[in-house]
Structure formats: structure tokens, C-alpha cells
A and B are shown apart, each in its own frame.
Chain A
Amino acid sequence: MIDSLKILSTGGVHFTAENTTSDLRPMVREACGKVFRRTNRFIDLALIGANRCANGSSKRPLPACPVYTATGQCSLSDTVELMHQIQTKHQTPMPFTFINVSSNTAGFYIGQSLALEGENMTVSRETFPFEAALELAWFGLMEGRIREALVGGVDELTRPLDHHRRRLRLSKDAPIGEGSHWLHLGTDGEFVAEITRLARFTDESRFCETATAWRMDKMTWLAGGNGVDEAMLERLETRLETGRRFDYISSAGYYESNAAQGISRFIQEKPAAELLHVNRDSRGFLTALRLVTH
């Protein structure tokens, strides 16, 4: 039985709508040592993030290491393009465009680039895709079925941007982004951080009752995910007496799996610190994650 998720390394890549690049191949080559033919942007983002994470680890992932890719909308550009191609242009889809919208294709390429042959699961959950992937990894590690895992959150921007915002039901000026951030979890090696709590709550008051016992203090950083607004953050600060905010959303921009970026950046930017990351879905359910960096 493990009592925390130990993190061997983290790495990733992200772009905002205003600060991006269309050609990811140089970054793929740098991260993976080669480029892959016939991939799409989503797959390239996944490859860059996962390989940067693995390259930074004190331990290379072993062949049995599973890959859990969390995503809110996966290969969205290609999916939209396929719809246009079929329904308005009346064109037969290109075979690899079709194959690439299969969500596990990104995990396939990650496996190929890192010589991994374990489970390759693309998973999601409304508002909490990254937390769902972390739960799978925690469960596998807790059961002793796996000894390590690569867990990432990947989503891509589509253009035009106003269509992308409408697709995500965001306001016209909402900051939007894309990214791929990964954690290499393991049971032995040199750890850079650990997730000591990953819990789900059916409402805010139950969460506060439980979290009060976690004994956080003014040194604890508080971060809110996509579903948490300013009013809720203020309530949580008051109830839990946390003293500092870690705001990654305003610079990351909105995308469904951006909690992975929040966790990854905190590990990189805040050594020897503690983070409470809270997210809330449209039904009012909460997921809380407590992270301690070394």
C-alpha cells in the first residue's frame, strides 16, 4: 500500500493563443532525437512533453511502464478537419488523418519513442481529465501491478480562435492555450515531489471539513483549476487558512487538461513547497490534490 504518488520527474510544453508556433518538428526532434512521419499536432505535443519528462528523470522508464494520457478533446484539429472534409468538401479522408484521431495514437508514438510496451490508455473525465489519469496510476501503483507510470495532460488549440472559444463555451476574450505536461511516477529513485492526497468530494463543505484536518498553513500555496472561480478561492482561503495563491491558469490559458501544467510548473518553480490544487465540475463535485515538492 502506498501513501503518496512519488514523482521522479516532470516536463512539458505549452503555448498560448498569442505565443505559439505552427511547426513543432524541431521541438520533437530535440526531445525525441528524431521526428515521426504522419503525426499531427496533438501527437507532436504529446511526444514533446512525455519525452522531456522522461529525459529529465533520474530513471529511464522501463518497458513495462504504462502511459496514461489525459485529454479533454484530443486530436481536435483533425476531427474538425475530417468533418469539414466529409460534409462540406465531400472528400474521402486521408487514411492517416483518420487513424490519428484515434485517441491512443499519441500514446502509441510515446511508447515507440521511449520503448514502452505497457498499458496505453487515453482517458478523460469532465473537468478533471488529468485527475482521472492520476487516479488510474495511483490505483495501479497501490495494487502493485505497476512500479511506475507516465501520466500526462494534453490538449491542442484549433483555429480560428473564436471558433475554439465557442467550442469550449468561453467568452470572446478568455485566455486560451494548449499544452502537454507529464509526470514520471515511480516507487524508487530520486524524487522531485510527491502527491500526498488525491481525493474526490461531492460538495465544497465536505471538502473543507476534510481538508481542515490536512493542517495546511500560511505557507501553503492554493491553486484553482478551470472550474474554480475567484469567489470560491476566497472562501477556501478563509476556511483553510492558506496564505498564497499559485495562479497558472491566467498564463496557461484555458484548456481541459491544464491541471497537468499547473502541477508540473509548481514542481519546477517552487522547490520545498506545498500546493493544494482544487477543481470543481459543473455538478459541484470537487477533486483536491495536495503536492509537496522536494
Chain B
Amino acid sequence: MQRPFPKQDAVYLLGTGTVCALGRDQGIVTARLREAESPQASIALSDISKGKVSYFRSTTPGHTASLLPPAVVAAIDDAVAEAGLEDEALAETAVFVGTSSLDIGYWEQRYTEALARGQADFVPVESRYGGLAARIAEHIGSREREFVYNTACTSSANALLHAARMVRAGFVRLALVVGVELLNRISLEGFEALMLLSRDGVRPFDEKRSGLVLGEGVGAIILGGDADCTGTNPLRFVAGFSHTDTSNLTASKSESIERSIRGALAEAGLLPENITAIKAHGTATALNDETEAVGTRRVFPEQLPPLTSIKGSIGHTLGACGALETAALSGCLHEGFLPPTAGFSRPDPKLGVVPMRTPLTMGRGVVLCNYFGFGGNNTSLIIEKSR
């Protein structure tokens, strides 16, 4: 296997696109994150449990009659436009997709239509895991490799981590990383069956936190090295680390969270005191927030850096959250602030973590981003605003 491009000293976020419950336009998303807005949205969960839970729908349509959903196209097109990539560069852009539900919502819709038609022999789920990445590659005109990562809630965080490593190594020239999570009943009913969904909103690290609110969204990020970096103030992808905690399928130990963060710091050549702020995974379930709080405090025993979770504003977008939250965060950092934690009001004395209630003005700095998932898959990433 060849290294067709030169090694890069640094990897930058050259362009981002966010499609989520706060909107599509990066400026609007950034402004609403600054205000800690939490969209009012509620949908009937199902005719099974009769439950009604909050769900943050994307403002751009998710699954439609197309296997390349409008929300995916919108996020990608925005990222490509911001990066200013022309056809020649796009042809050399590798595609990394991270998703937990792939196109299952599309097939649910077709199945529903077939049942309505009385078509008894309909065969749901025809598509392949690799299909979405191939369609995205075709959309941008890429003739490079594509990878699909399916590692539950860390899917696109892992896609981002691997993409950045490959760009830095000169294995690929440019990378388009796309995190995708679109409304589907299997995810909704599955998390309902696990009794993890909140009935009254998402409140990360709050004493009264009551569970997840799922969200729909797509995050797209173009990564490139020095050679393709023409912007004046790009964020730098510094490093990351992923590992597996095999002690429990659905609940990692705090030691594992600690290991994930320390691994990222070691890869970056940084010490805990070099971290300016933390974007927590912060799902607002009782156990996840507690484990994350304990694991994080182990790394920062003296003083915890300012910490935020943005799931109160966009929901838990599962496999998309790695790329989507990083893209959303980049918009805020460009505007010189770290967003507050929507939904948080009362500290939980058991956690020892009090997330930000107001925006934090931030010039230069290094942000630790945590993403944890089922299957013991824990990933920490570090990004830097250098100017």
C-alpha cells in the first residue's frame, strides 16, 4: 500500500456543514447554541408503548424517497463550499461516513408504504452498509477510497479520527467526514425499550436529569493538511484515541473514560493542564453522566476545565454526534466562544461537575471532545483554535 501524498505537519478543518434541529445555516446554529436554545419538539413515539417523547427533528428533511437524503446533501454541500474545493480536489477527497442507523429509516418508510398497499411479499432492508458512502462519493465526484464506520455512538468520531490520521500521514490528500443520524423507528423504539428516553427534556449533568432526547442531524467536515489550507483561521485537529472497554456492553467504567482521555492527551503530546475546555459526551442519562464525570475528574483532579454538552440543543444524534457536534462546535469557536449547556440548571453534588450555564469567551485554546458508545467503544478527540 502506497503513501501517495506528502506527510502533513498538521490537519485542519477546512470546511464544515451542520444540519440539525437548530437549523442548517452555520451562523444560525452558532447563534442558537450561544443562547442555549433547546428546540421545542415532540413526536408521538409509537403505537406500541403509546409513549410520547421529545425528539429533535432536523430542519432539513431526513429520509425521503431518495437514498441520498436531502439533509446529507445539504451538510456536505455546505462543507465543500466553505472549504472552497474544486472538482480536481474533490476527486482526491476520500469519504469517511460514521452512522449508527445507516439508511434504515428509508427502508422503514418503504415498508410502511408496502404494508399500506397490502404488498405482503415486500422485502425490507435491501441496501448494503457501504452504499451510503458510495453515493456520497458519487455526489462529490470522488474517485478516492470510502469507509463506513458503524460503532454505535462513536461512529463518526472514529471516522473523524481515522480520516485525520490518514490525511496527516499522506495516505489520503483530503477527507470528507460525514456523521449521519436520521429519524427511524428502530432507534426510537429500541431506546424506549431500554428505558433511556426522557419524557421531560434533556438536562446533561443536572441533578434532575432523566434521560436522552434523540436528535436527527448530519455533520460534515472537510479535513486537509497544510498544502490545502488556504483559510486564515482554521481549527486544527490535534489528535485522538479510541479503545474498547469489554466489561459491560452498555455501560463503560469510569476508568475506561479516563483511559480514553489520557490516550488522546498522550497522542497529542499534551498534559491535562493544556486543555482549555471540554465538550463532554453529556447524554443526560443517570449512569452515563456519572461515569463521564468520575472518569473526567480522574484526569483533572485539581481543577476541571470549563465543560459543556450540546446535546441539550441538538439531542443525542447517536452515530452522527462525533462529526455533527465537532462541526457545530467549530462554528462557535470561530465566533470566539464555547456554548453553554442547554437544559442544565441544578448541579448534581454526586458528580462534582458543573457544566457551563453561560457562553465562555474563548480565543486561542485546546478543546477535548468526548464520545462514548455501546459496545464499550470510547473515543476522545482534541481540536485546537490556534489564532
Instruction: Please report A residues at the B interface, Cβ cutoff 8 Å.
Output: 67, 71-74, 76, 79-80, 82-83, 86-88, 90-95, 98-99, 101-105, 107-108, 111-112, 115-129, 132, 135-136, 138-139, 142-143, 145, 163, 166-169, 197-200, 202, 256, 281-283, 285
Contact = CB atoms under 8 A, between A and B. Distances in A.
Contact of B186 (A67, A83, A115): A83
B276 interface: no
B108 interface: yes
Contacts of B193: 92-95, 98
Interface string B112-134: 10010000000111101111011
B126 A83 contact: no
B9 interface: no
A86 B193 CA distance: 12
Contacts of B1: 135, 138-139, 142, 197-199
A168 to B, nearest CB: 8
Contact of B152 (A82, A95, A102): A102
A124 B194 contact: no
A123 B95 CA distance: 13
A124 B148 contact: yes
A120 B128 contact: no
Contacts of B185: 86-87
Nearest to B96: A123
B152 A169 contact: no
Contact of B130 (A82, A86, A124): A124
A285 B137 CA distance: 12
Contacts of A86: 46, 48, 185-186, 189
Contact of A283 (B128, B131, B134, B373): B134
A105 B375 contact: yes
Contacts of A73: 125, 128-129
Contacts of A145: 165
Given A95-B193, A108-B376, A198-B1, A103 B145 contact: no
Interface residues of B, number: 60
B171 interface: yes
Contacts of B375: 102, 104-105, 107-108, 120
B73 to A, nearest CB: 18
Nearest to A98: B190
A117 B111 contact: no
Nearest to B128: A72
Shortest 4 CB-CB contacts between residues of A and residues of B: A98-B190, A126-B130, A124-B129, A104-B375
A256 B47 CA distance: 35
Given A118-B243, A127-B130, 19 more contacts: A73-B125, A74-B150, A80-B125, A86-B185, A92-B48, A99-B249, A101-B186, A102-B374, A103-B152, A120-B376, A121-B151, A123-B149, A124-B148, A125-B146, A128-B130, A132-B147, A136-B162, A166-B126, A199-B2
**Secondary structure call for the B interface:** mixed
Interface string B158-200: 1000100110010100000000000001100111111000000
27 contacts: A72-B130, A79-B125, A83-B108, A86-B185, A86-B189, A87-B111, A87-B115, A90-B48, A99-B249, A102-B100, A102-B373, A103-B129, A103-B150, A103-B152, A107-B244, A111-B246, A115-B246, A116-B244, A119-B243, A119-B244, A121-B151, A122-B149, A127-B130, A128-B130, A163-B123, A198-B1, A281-B134
A53 B371 CA distance: 31
A88 B114 CA distance: 11
A139 B244 contact: no
Contacts of B190: 82, 93, 95, 98-99, 101
A256 to B, nearest CB: 6
Nearest to B46: A86
Contacts of B133: 124-126
Contacts of A99: 190, 194, 249-250, 374
Contacts of B74: none
B369 to A, nearest CB: 17
Given A104-B151, A112-B246, A74 B145 contact: no
Nearest to A108: B375
Given A98-B190, A167-B125, A167-B126, A136 B147 contact: yes
B242 interface: yes
Contacts of B3: 142
B104 interface: yes
A83 B109 CA distance: 11
Contacts of B147: 123-125, 132, 136
B285 interface: no
B273 interface: no
B138 interface: yes
